[in-house]
Structures are given as C-alpha cells and as structure tokens.
C-alpha cells in the first residue's frame, strides 16, 4: 500500500473543509484536502441562499452569485405574511451558484498551498496509541495510507470520520430534515425576496422555499422532519404537490435531494488528533437550516487551532479543545437558541403557529441583518412564547 505523510488531512471539500485547509496552509502547514466525488461542488445539496455576512470570510466573486435579495418573506399556515428587510432597503444576501462557489473555495485552499485531490474516498482511520493519526483512502482505484498529525472530518451530515474516531454522530430522525429541491425556470415569483412557506399541509416539520436564481429561474424546495417522512409522504412528494399547485406550467431543469442536521451542537467536536467541522460538527442553525457561514467560520477557527497545535507538536484532545471553546463562544449560542425556537414552533398546534406569525405580522426591519439579529427580533415580538430564550441572546 502506498504511504503518504502530511501535517493535516481534511476529508471533504465543502466550505468547511476548504476553509480549514486554506487557513492551515496559509500558516505554513503541509495540507491535503480530499474529496470523494469526481468534481467539487457536485452534486449540489443546498438552497444556496446566504446573508451578506459571508463577506466577513471571503471576497465573493460576482460570477459566483446568481441573484441578490432584499429580504425574506415568510408565510404562516394561514397565509400571514412576515417580511424581513433592512432599514435602507438594501440587499441582505446572495443566492450562490454552489457548484462554482465550492470550487472557488477549494481553489483558494490550493492557492494557499494545500494539495487538493478529487476521486479520493476515505474508508478508515489510522489509530496509534489512542490518537487518530491519519486515514486509509482509495484514490482513483489505488489504496493509500495517509498519515497526518490531525485529521479533519468535513464529511457532512453522516460523518463517518467522526464515527470511526469514536464520536457518536448518529442523529434521531426528528433531528434531521430530509429535503428535495427543483431548479425551475419559466415561473413567476418574487425576484427580490426569498420566500418561505410554513404549514403542516405544505411541509410537516419543516418549510418550503423559493429562492431566486436569476431571470425566471429559482430554487424551489421543501424540507420535512425525518420522523414524518414515510411512503408517499416524502419530501419529494410534498415538493411535487407544492410545484403542481403554484407552478403547474413551470419547467424543472434539475433535481436535488439531501439531508440537513437540525440537532444543534449535540456532542464534542474534537478527539485526540481529530476535529469535526461543518455539518459533521452540526454547525447548522436548526431554526433556519442555514449552515454555510458557520461552516466557514468554524473552518477558519479549526485551521488556526490546528496550526498552533502542529507548531507545539501537541495533538491531544485537551489541546484541540481550543477549537471547541472558540466556536461555541463565537456562534454556539445562536445555534442553541435556534434549536429552542425550532422545537418550540414545531410543538405548537396550527392555531398557535398562526398566533406566532400574527405577532410578527407587519414585518421585521433591522439596521443590518445577521441570524443573531433575526432571532432577537423573533424573541422580542413573541415575549410570552419565547420569554425563556431572552436570557440566552441579550
């Protein structure tokens, strides 16, 4: 078996993995970023919407943006309309072309000095004296033993890397959203706002969305609770019904399916010689389903911590816990509050869900948009329902 040695090997070239690799490489580490698929960014499993907060982490090339939007319009079960926008009526976010965006981030990692390799699937980890010390992988049909001081699991919601390393990455069905999405054209929709639709008949345990993709094209999708998905009641069934009702004459030009972890951060994300990032670390807001920004933010922290650990030659869980402490401090509370709001809203009857949206009717306007400000406004306008959450955000 062929043998290779790096300071760090990152398994998975999504946003979290690529930013981790880029950050570590910029700090002088010998980095290998591997991706099991033949093409980075494919298949797309994402609504592709992101707030302009992304500019904190990367300069977004305009060619990677399909559309910009001024806000979100959400419809409650009875049709109550709630619009989120900013005071200056400017743009609050982008709908990305993830197929290109993920490639761009991997290229940034390569420019920083990381080696990027596709068609390379990790199938096990190397263990030595209680430490993770690399991975076994197959690259274009050849088995390789890749030794590394730190392994980064950026391998998505299933995170086999985490499971192999002794972290229980399994999720309850209720903590997963199963999703289906059509890229559609020749349809009429609000091209300046992302639209979200809530209701048991539309999307039990989740919501439907319409995100503009430029011109007459849009991502039209539905996510439902994994615990309510069953024969003839899958996300794809609900999506077909949604599309037939609203866009009977629209054209479907691509179909996408996937799963989103909505558990919030439920376990430690480090072990001896190991760090988990992105979906593998459950860095997704359970209320909104958004994870791109947290993946990038967590990846930057991970790359920095790994670089320090390599320079100190200390790869113990205790040393790598700096990563856990930092991401929890920077965005852990937002994920915790998002989980509590999600659980609260989904536990309500349809009648009480309507009351929840009635309290928000008239819209939410903020000076600037972040997910933290969104959650604060939701709490402010539902003081009785969400009083217990206020202490976590203020």
Beta 364-366 vs 81-86: how paired, if at all? parallel
- The answer to the question of residue 385 being in a domain is yes
Q: Is residue 63 part of a domain?
A: no
- Over 80: is that where the pLDDT of 178 sits? yes
pLDDT tens across 108-128, in order?
A: 999 999 999 999 999 999 999
Considering the domain architecture, whether residues 308 and 334 belong to the same structural domain is answered as: yes
pLDDT score of 368: 66
> Total structural domains in the chain?
3
Q: Rounded to the nearest 5 degrees, what angle is found at the Cα of 185, between the Cα atoms of 65 and 245?
A: 125
Cβ burial of 198 (10 Å; 0-12, 13-18, 19+) is: buried
Q: For 60-108, write each residue's pLDDT tens digit.
A: 889 999 999 998 899 999 999 988 887 766 788 999 999 999 999 999 9
Banded pLDDT at 387 (limits 50, 70, 90): low
251 and 194 belong to one structural domain: yes
Judgement on whether residues 28 and 107 belong to the same structural domain of the protein: yes
Q: For 252-297, what is each residue's pLDDT tens digit?
A: 999 999 999 999 998 899 999 999 999 999 999 998 899 999 999 9
pTM (two decimals) = 0.92
Is there a single domain that holds both residue 239 and residue 270?
no
Domain boundary residue, one of 261, 289, 304: 261
- 197 by DSSP, 3-state: which? strand
Q: How many CB atoms lie within 10 A of CB 241?
A: 14
Q: How far apart are CA 322 and CA 294, in angstroms?
A: 17
Residue at 200 is within a domain: yes
Does residue 52 fall inside a structural domain? no
Does 103 lie in the same domain as 30? Answer: yes
Let me know whether 378 and 365 are in one domain.
yes
Instruction: Give me the CATH number covering residue 153.
Output: 3.50.50.60
Q: How confident is the model at residue 57 (pLDDT cuts 50, 70, 90)?
A: confident
Q: Is 83 among the domain residues?
A: no
Residue at which a domain ends, from 338, 358, 382: 338
Which residue among 261, 280, 309 closes a domain? 261
Q: What is the per-residue pLDDT for 345?
A: 83
* Containing structural domain, residue 377: 341-393
Q: Are residues 37 and 139 in the same domain?
A: yes
């Amino acid at each position: 078996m062929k043998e290779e040695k790096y300071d760090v090997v990152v398994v998975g070239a999504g946003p979290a993995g690529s930013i981790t690799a880029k950050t570590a490489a910029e700090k002088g580490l010998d980095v290998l970023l591997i991706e099991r698929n033949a093409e980075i960014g494919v298949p797309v499993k994402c609504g592709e919407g992101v707030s302009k907060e992304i500019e904190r982490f990367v300069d977004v090339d305009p060619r990677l943006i399909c559309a910009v939007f001024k806000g979100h319009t959400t419809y409650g079960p009875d049709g109550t309309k709630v619009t989120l926008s900013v005071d200056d009526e400017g743009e609050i976010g982008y709908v990305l072309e993830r197929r290109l965006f993920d490639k761009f981030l991997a290229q940034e990692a390569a420019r920083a000095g990381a080696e990027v390799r596709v068609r390379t699937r990790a199938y096990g980890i190397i263990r030595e004296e209680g430490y993770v010390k690399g991975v076994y992988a197959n690259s274009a049909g050849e088995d390789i033993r890749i030794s590394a001081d730190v392994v980064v699991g950026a391998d998505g919601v299933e995170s086999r890397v985490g499971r192999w390393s002794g972290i229980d990455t399994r999720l309850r069905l209720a903590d997963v959203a199963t999703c289906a999405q059509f890229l559609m054209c020749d349809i009429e929709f609000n091209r300046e706002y992302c639209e979200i639709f809530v209701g048991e008949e539309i999307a039990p345990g989740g919501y439907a969305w319409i995100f503009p993709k430029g011109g007459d094209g849009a991502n039209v999708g539905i996510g439902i609770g994994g615990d309510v998905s069953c024969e003839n009641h899958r996300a794809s069934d609900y999506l077909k019904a949604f599309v037939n009702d609203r866009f009977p004459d629209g054209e479907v030009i691509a179909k996408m399916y996937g799963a989103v972890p909505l558990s919030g951060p439920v376990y430690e994300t480090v072990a001896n010689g190991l760090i988990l990032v992105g979906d593998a670390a459950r860095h997704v807001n359970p209320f909104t389903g958004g994870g791109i920004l947290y993946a990038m933010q967590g990846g930057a922290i991970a790359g920095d911590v790994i670089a320090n650990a390599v320079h100190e030659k200390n790869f113990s869980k205790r040393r790598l816990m700096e990563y856990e402490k930092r991401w929890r401090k920077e965005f852990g509370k937002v994920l915790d509050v998002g989980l509590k709001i999600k659980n609260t809203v989904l536990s309500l009857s349809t009648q009480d869900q309507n009351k929840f949206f009635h309290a928000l009717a008239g819209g939410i306007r903020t000076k600037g948009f972040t997910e933290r400000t969104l959650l604060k406004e939701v709490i402010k306008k539902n003081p009785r329902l969400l009083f217990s959450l206020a202490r976590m955000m203020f």
